[in-house]
Amino acid sequence: MNPITDEQNQDIPTEPGRARRRIKRLIANGILCILILGLGIFLKSWLTSLREPPLIAELPSPEVNVEVKAVHPEEVPVIISGYGEVHAADSIAVTPKVAGEIVYLHPDLEVGKVIPEGELLYRIDQRDYLAAQAQGRAQIERLEIMVKALKQQYESDKNRLQTIKRARDIAQEEFNRDKALLQKDDVGSESMVNLSEINYRKAQDAFDQVEQAIDLYPLRIAEAEAALRAGRSALQLADLTLERTEEYAPFNARIQHKQIEVGQAVAPGLIVLLLADDSVLEVSVPIDSRDARRWIPFLEEDSGESPNWFRPVAPAPCVLSWTEDPSVTWTGTLARVERFDPMTRTVTVAIRVTENTSPSEQQKLPLVEGMFCRVEITGNPMHSVYRLPEWAVSYEGLAYLAEDQRLQPVKVNVVRSQGKEVFVDEGLSPGSLVVLTRLVDPVPGILLNYESPDSVSDEGKTIPEPTPAEELLSEGEPPEPGKTP
């Protein structure tokens, strides 16, 4: 046997020895963990024994400081808001009525200028039309002379007819006498009788011609008078054509568009000027069809009106404010319903401004065409509604009341929101104390602390600023509303 090999085999641990050492290590670790846990439990118990219990204090019931308002039913006019662009109520496109060359223009005929009413805007060359007028007058003079001559000749021929008739009667008597003498008494000759007959026939023919001419005179006179009337109509047309060579301002006209110059040849149908009358301005304002149905003050139904269109509206007062400077305002009236837009479901109404729109001492600009304005229309009033700030009603339609100093939520029906206010018609009663303070997740029944509205001085009250339309209504009596359709 090899001695070295035996020594190496003795140094290698056997499998049972390796297992015993692993068990011993696990037992030692377990004992160490138990000791650590025991030490921790002991320290916790010792520290707990050192702590003293806190003193128990009696807390009062929680109170929330709120602001309340006693509400009462009111009659409030509805203010319908909208936006629109100002435009002139009356504007016309000027087109030449006759053809010709422009020989004169008003010195101030430029875009943006205002031409006073009755002043000449332009003139077309009149020479051709003056010649036509002179020709028409000469034709009338000729026809008047012709009618006069026919009437004189008619009277003359009627007098001449008596003479010719007498000559015919004499010739007939002479013929009859010569014929009787020849046949009864054999006096005279056949040639004498024939000559008497020829004279009689000539007298009869002359009488027939004059009589026929006299019968035709009324027709000839009527024909000449008809020609005279036609000539006078032609002269009137020539006068009218000559008059149409000049165009005058129909009102104090502001030039919107100009396409005409001296020397330019123009023809009928060509638009050369666009004129606007700024004395009456209008704003077309689209509003929601539901607001129009409920709040626009329509007049009583008239059997003479079209049954398939809106009834006339009452001239309700309106306030216009320029969007670029809301402090600049003007007043107007509701004029009419212009159209219904099926795409947007809106009703477009026209607001008319007829009073002085010039700038005041505080305003630098007048109301002019093209301004984009906010319009507030005074509609039908809301009856028996309660006015509340918009924050006093939650998104769920809840308002909070103070009853016996406790918070009570109530369901309300908001009729309309207007500015920073809402108007409620159901859920409240006269004298109810509504909580105005904004509450976050309020708990019903919590104790409230507030001052009674009767003890609050007027100086401490917050009065909402009126809208311009409400200020206008406060200056005079509100308009009598029409029936809601």
Strand 447-449 and strand 63-65: pairing? parallel
Q: What is the average pLDDT value for the chain, to the nearest integer?
A: 82
Q: What is the pTM of this model?
A: 0.64
Domain limits, the chain? 96-121+246-270, 128-243, 277-475
**Residue 76 belongs to what H/E stretch?**
strand 74-94
Largest CA distance in the chain: 225
Give the separation between CA 65 and CA 449, rounded to whole angstroms: 5
More confident residue, 167 or 322: 322
Structure tokens at 383: 């009856």
Degrees to nearest 5, angle at CA 302 with 301 and 305 = 110
pLDDT in tens, 387-412: 999 999 988 889 999 988 889 999 99
User: Rounded to an integer, what distance in angstroms lies between the CA atom of residue 453 and that of residue 66?
Assistant: 12
* Full DSSP string of 431-477: T-EEE-S--SSPPTT-EEE---GGGS-GGG--PPPPPHHHHHHHHSP
On the CB side of 461, CA atoms within 13 Å amount to 12
Element (H, E) at 198: helix 190-243
pLDDT of 275-295, one tens digit each?
A: 999 989 999 999 999 999 999
What CATH topology corresponds to 128-243? Helix Hairpins (1.10.287)
Residue 7 has pLDDT above 50, yes or no: no
Q: Which of 19-28, 140-149, 166-175 has the highest mean pLDDT?
A: 140-149
Q: Which two tokens stand for residue 208?
A: 């027939």
Task: Look up residue 285 and give its two tokens.
Answer: 């304002």
Q: Which strand ranges, in their side-by-side order, compose the sheet holding 68-70?
A: 63-65, 447-449, 406-411, 398-403, 433-435, 68-70
Listing DSSP states for 383-447 in one string gives EEEEEEEGGGB-TTSEEEEEETTEEEEEE-EEEEEETTEEEEEES--TT-EEE-S--SSPPTT-E
Contacts of 261 by beta carbon, 8 Å cutoff, 6+ apart = 102, 105
d(CA 256, CA 91): 9
**Residue of 284, 279, 469, 468 lying closest to 356 (CA atoms):** 279
Q: Which residue from 105, 451, 51 is spatially nearest to 273, judged by alpha carbons? A: 105
CA-based nearest residue to 231, from 130, 150, 144, 145: 144
The reported pLDDT for the residue numbered 49 is: 77
The answer to whether the CB of 313 falls within 8 A of the CB of 482 is: yes
Q: Could you give the 3-state DSSP secondary structure of residue 410?
A: strand
DSSP secondary structure letters along 222-257 = HHHHHHHHHHHHHHHHHHHHHHTTEEE-SSSEEEEE
CA–CA separation, 271 and 4 (whole Å): 132
Q: Is residue 351 within 8 Å of 318, Cβ to Cβ? A: yes
Extract the tokens encoding 451.
């001052």
pLDDT band for 234, please (50, 70, 90 cuts).
very high
For CA atoms 180, 184, 185, 191, the dihedral sign is positive
On whether the CB atoms of residues 380 and 295 are closer than 8 A, the answer is yes
Statement: residue 256 has pLDDT above 70: yes
Would you state the pLDDT for residue 65? Answer: 87
pLDDT value at 149 more than 60:
yes
Q: Are the beta carbons of 340 and 44 closer than 8 angstroms? A: no
User: What are the tens digits of pLDDT across the range 152-190?
Assistant: 887 777 777 777 777 777 777 776 776 676 677 666 666
Question: Strand 246-248's sheet: what is its strand order?
Answer: 246-248, 120-124, 100-105, 265-266
Residue 453's pLDDT band, with cuts at 50, 70 and 90, is confident
What is the DSSP-derived secondary structure letter of residue 132? H
Give the percent of the chain with pLDDT over 90: 43
Give the pLDDT band of residue 471 (cuts 50, 70, 90). low
**Nearest CA-CA partner of 366 in 353, 376, 375, 377:** 353
Those residues with Cβ within 8 angstroms of residue 391's Cβ, 6 or more apart along the chain or in another chain:
436, 438
- pLDDT higher than threshold 90 for residue 255: yes
Residue 128, token pair as written in the block: 């051709």
Residue 8 has pLDDT above 80, yes or no: no
Does pLDDT of 454 surpass 80?
no
Percent of the chain surpassing pLDDT 70: 82
* Lowest model confidence (mean pLDDT) among 22-36, 103-117, 162-176, 181-195: 181-195
Inter-residue contact 229 to 252 (CB < 8 Å)? no
Nearest Cα residue to 409 out of 384, 392, 425, 422: 392
172: which strand partners?
A: none
The pLDDT value given to residue 462: 45
